[in-house]
Structure 1
Amino acid sequence: MSEKKYRFLFISAFCLPEDSPFSGPKRGDGIPKEERLQNYGNLKHLLDDVDWEMHPGPLTNYGNWTVENRQEFLQVAAGRLPIVKEACESGKYNAIILEGGGEPGFLEARELTRRYGIPVTSCGHSQMHMASMLGNKFAIIDFSEVHTMFYHNLVVQHRMTDRCASIRNIGYYHSKPYYNDVESFSAERRKAMAGERCEAVERAVAESISAMEEDGADVIMFGCSGGFWMKPFVEKRLHEEGWDVPVIEGYGAAIELAKMQVNYGVTASGLAFPSDRPQKRPRKIVF
């Protein structure tokens, strides 16, 4: 890697086997990093000053489809931690960015990377903190019931219940065996990119407006990283309709939060993420 100030490693939440019939990142070697990083076109300007690499993430061991429920998140989280540890030990990077809206393994990775003095960021955590700086309350646009309830836990985990106005579900799903889903989320993305009418964007815009009118939201963000592609489409539509609100997505927020921590020379607190044998210990934890 070159001697740029920022040396980042992106780690995908998971990768699918090469022969998987479902949409999602595949393990195949030789895929350019720009193709592996979702929505690279929207993020390119944020990476001009970054020397970055991309890891495909752990191979799914629950099946050959995209992660969506708690069991699947837990299994890929365990698979991602050895990749994080290897990256820290390599000495090549000064920050790690975990892909995936559900941020599997993020807290565990914070504990691990702190020992090496390397900050690690992820999508949900970064979005929530950025959104809390931009307004009073944020709304999350998510896509399926099971993922929405998983994301509900993240809001509680990151102590953002007072800043989250609502999570709005637009009713799409990742493709899986034994389900004949008529409405495919990935198909909606293809429509939007082709300039066609996209029902997913229509629903996201409608739910964003409802979140502002009914729930008190003044910032919009997204849950699943599979929906981050909607950011420019939803932002444009809301602004055209007169809604002067920030619309943010997780990868950009995670990149900027990583830069901030590198610039400021900080990483996670050793009290929040203590080592196995800390030199000092608090006598109690106060809630």
Structure 2
Amino acid sequence: MNLNIILKRPVYTLFVVAALGLLSSCQPEDVGEGNGLSDANVDATFTVKAVEGKVNTYSLQAQPNNVISSMWNFGDGAFSGKMNEEASFPDAGTYTITHTATGRGGLSNATSQDVVVATSDPIKGNIVKGGKFLDADDQAKWTKLNISASGAAWTFNTGSATIKASGWSQQGIYQAINVVKDKEYRIDMLISGGASSDTWFEVYAGTTPPVQGVEYKDNKVMGISTWDGCGTSQFSGKLSVVGCIKNDRTNTVSNVVKFNTSGTIYLLFRSGGNGFTANGITITNVEMRGSN
């Protein structure tokens, strides 16, 4: 009797091992092989609803089921966000909102919706003219400030402006803007460039009129400077995020400006250097908006 038990146990064990081996050989282990490790159909849909009491502001709610992470893009660059976000569009126009959902296995899908803003926010509307450099009309809003005799030049492209410089040369562009006394404004733009050395890109908002051949220095607000620790590697994004130059008024990295009197100021960008990136520094979506 004992002999029979001893003989049957290894037979049963071998049967179980064989069965498990058969099951495991039928189960794919790679992502995307239909084993549940990946989700090619992750749902990226979201709803858009106007926020009551806030001008041109919208609540975005993505469906959360089986979503591991979310990326949003409101038209000025993608960012990692939450399932629910708020988007604000101070200027009238049509804006495309894109939500990218990532699910199991790192697979992702994207969904887009257009939001139409009928009227600009009277407080936070952009007071810069031609800040997108879209066409000749936009580009005509800007005046070049020649500082060096040669070696530096701004060029206008369809949808952007680019500065290239060498041999410590520099050049600026500017426009006149009317401001209100004691009102706070925020200046920003999208900026990109490659790794550089001995390079600067400075933003000024001063009351002094620019003079051809003279380096502008009135009220530096923000910018890129390899001496201050930015621009030494490739960069792309909002200047308020990637910049490192301190604001003359606050002595901190800040894009906020305020003026003692109402009237005309000059928004001016001055850039140059000696080890400039070959493709130059490119800007677009230049903004100056009231913040109070």
TM range (shorter): under 0.3
Give the TM-score of the pair, scaled to structure 2: 0.24
- For the pair shown, the structure with the greater C-alpha radius of gyration is 2
Q: Identify the structure with bigger relative contact order (alpha carbons < 8 Å, sequence gap 6+).
A: 1
More strand by share: 2
TM-score (norm 1): 0.24
Flag the structure with higher helix content: 1
